[in-house]
Amino acid sequence: MSKLEATIRLEQRFALLREVIASYRIRLQEMEQEVVQLFTTNQLSAISACMGEKQRIVRLMNRLEQFINQWEHNGEVGIVHESKREHLNT
């Protein structure tokens, strides 16, 4: 596998991670509606569990976003970065 192929595959993985983050955002919106429904039926323990799950998802999303930003801004990932390095090496 060439460096270019490896870079493209890595970028595809970052795209998949962004899709995961987007699905977490959708889940958080759904959870907001669930909490409202739980509140109307006075299910405090379920609300507490839902809030714990929300905090876990938010932490995970933040870590994934930091991971993506760290690697993309590091200059080690991306087709654009690869072509820049090739230009500098010639």
Each residue of 46-75: pLDDT tens digit?
Answer: 999 999 999 999 999 999 999 988 887 775
Give the separation between CA 62 and CA 84, rounded to whole angstroms. Answer: 29
Give me the count of residues in the chain: 90
pLDDT for the residue 37: 95
* Exposure string over 26-62, b if 16+ CB within 10 A, otherwise e: eeeeebeebbeebeeeeeeeebeebeeebeebeeebe
pLDDT for the residue 39: 93
pLDDT for the residue 7: 66
pTM of the model: 0.69
Q: Does the pLDDT at position 84 exceed 70?
A: no
Cβ-based burial of 71 (10 A; exposed 0-12, middle 13-18, buried ≥19): middle
pLDDT for the residue 10: 78
